[in-house]
Amino acid sequence: MNPIVEAVTVLDNKLSNRYIDLDPGGYFIIYIDRETNQICAKHYTNTINDRGLAVDPETGEVIPVRGKVERTHTKIYSARSAKELCIQLFESKEPSLVTKLDHAAYLGREFVRAETAMLSGEEYVQD
């Protein structure tokens, strides 16, 4: 592997494990719809408890980071590119569902990763 690529990969993996505060505006599950060749982002609401954990607003149960959770999304965004998806989320006249800048930056990075995977035919796994 190219030493620069390797160094950046190690750094990115380390940064992926840092703590970040959750966005009270909710969270997104990002995926690629291969039938329509679009990047999709499902928005889910959450409440942040006194321990800083995301909980289901209806049940109060902690939402696990890993594994399947049965919840109903509030909105689905879909676009042909990362840029188009960012414009929908951050430049529309509707109030943004994203309330934290670090969350917006994270989503932008993930949309670019999803677009790259979509264009190359590779699998996309959200960070």
Q: What is the dihedral of CA 90, 96, 100, 101, to 10 degrees?
A: 10
pLDDT at position 48, please?
86
Hey, is 11 helix, strand or coil? helix
pLDDT of residue 85: 98
Q: Read off the pLDDT of residues 3-43 as tens digits, 9 standing for 90 and up.
A: 999 999 899 889 888 888 889 999 999 999 999 999 999 99
Listed in sequence order, the residues at least 6 apart from 113 whose beta carbon sits closer than 8 Å to its beta carbon are 124, 127
Q: Where are the domains of the chain?
A: 22-120
Query: Which pLDDT score is estimated for 114?
Result: 98
> Residue 102 to residues 6, 23, 46: CA-CA distances in angstroms?
25, 9, 17
Residues 42-90: pLDDT tens digits?
999 888 888 888 888 888 888 887 777 788 899 999 999 999 999 999 9
Could you tell me the pTM of the whole model? Answer: 0.85
- What is the predicted pLDDT for the residue at 51? 87
What tokens does 58 get? 């209806």
